[in-house]
Structure 1
Amino acid sequence: MKKFAFMMSLFQASVQTVLMAFLLALPTVANAQKELLKFEHPLIDAGTMTEDDAPRTFTFVGKNVSKKILHITQVRTTCGCTSSYVKGDVMKPGDTCQVQITFTPNRYPGTINTGAFLYLKEVEGQPAVKLALTGKVLPGADVWARYPHKMGALRLKQAMASITEVKPGTQPSARILCGNSGEKALRITSLLLPPYARLTTEPEVLEPGDEADLVITIIADLIPATMPETFTFPVILEGLDARPSDRTLQVSVSRIK
């Protein structure tokens, strides 16, 4: 896949940069860990998995090395691909806790760079501990899994678009990332648009394996005065081998008069 492979390389490069920044920040937490809550392994290597793998749970074990009772008030994960669970949120001196981070690889190919910020009642204004999870996720069998909406050969990130704060004299737009999963070039149009709407793709022709933007533009001055401030209309895409109901986008518009 032409652009897909290129975008993946850019994605991995940028993630590696962020990972380095995240890891460089870890030493700044070491002092807090020595004084209050210490994790022997604040960074866990998850190894290599694929997008098709089931979610995996990793356990970070911390110990209260202070001389007072500690209270974990919050564990905030850094990515929608993770969730957290805490065992032992109240610890007497010498007690331990377990912070479980569950990572879901589906739709997250590339370098794993995630983790969690742990907050204590006894540490105000900042996380007391940063936990990190690293590794690698290989693409699954369906390389278009990141595009859950299927309209014939066209795969889309979403099937709805929202255009807000539409003011007189403006032409705001919304973009939906899509890709051609088929073996033939696609040229997407729409024949039944209302007079105040326009549909284009960038680029105009989607070659097999390419990604593009569907761009929906609203011409505010052409919206009838009788229309409500907030309304929704359908956009039926042409050029796809699918039933009209299976190739329809929903567009919501909110106007400011």
Structure 2
Amino acid sequence: MAPIVPRATLDSLAHPATAPGGEALHFESQRIDAGVLGEDDAPTTYTFRWCNQGRKPMIITRVETSCGCARASFSKAPVAPGSCTEIAVAYHPKGRPGYFQRKIFVYTQLSDKQPSAVLELTGRVTPSVLPTAAYPYVMGSLRLKQQAIRIAGTRIQTERIECLNAGEQPLAIRADSRLLPAYLRFECDPAVIEPGKRADLVIRFDPAQAPQTLPRQLPVMLEGLQLPPGQRSLRILIGAQE
């Protein structure tokens, strides 16, 4: 049985006492309602603007959030009295349907243990209309059920990787033929994946075209995705599973 945490302890974590002098950070609003977001939406950034109403420069030393789905960015440059700046918080809705209430704890040179201000981001995420949970491997808007296949290397073999276009634009997925050996062929079936539709990435192996000694694995670099090479490659494992 999980230990029972006293209510007073829970309340102090959700509503911590702020550092003395924290009132110098004057926010236009300490709470932003994000409204309704879709689980398939790209991360949205919200801005908390504040001004230094104190008599000394203020420096934000760190910003913590109550969930990794809310990611803050800010400047550590001193903010002079009377000057203003902002804290940007990006919310990532993927995998988090339902109502959300995230706390943002702003720390300054006033205290390393107590936040100088506590902000709040709220909203609601509607569930995905696409079955993206069944496709755990992400390459931009292309989602895959797996990112590697195994080929015996001794017989003609065809393997398929089921994928889904979770984006809003058609995808024409190809393989970089310069990196593909003669004994491997790649195609996408169908050649163009419409938004919200499924497809198969097909890899065919022909032993008649293969050398006697095969590598243990090979990368297949996909084209048609606006991603760095390391984020758009499949792995072909060759030989019996060890």
Normalised TM-score (structure 2): 0.47
Normalised TM-score (structure 1): 0.45
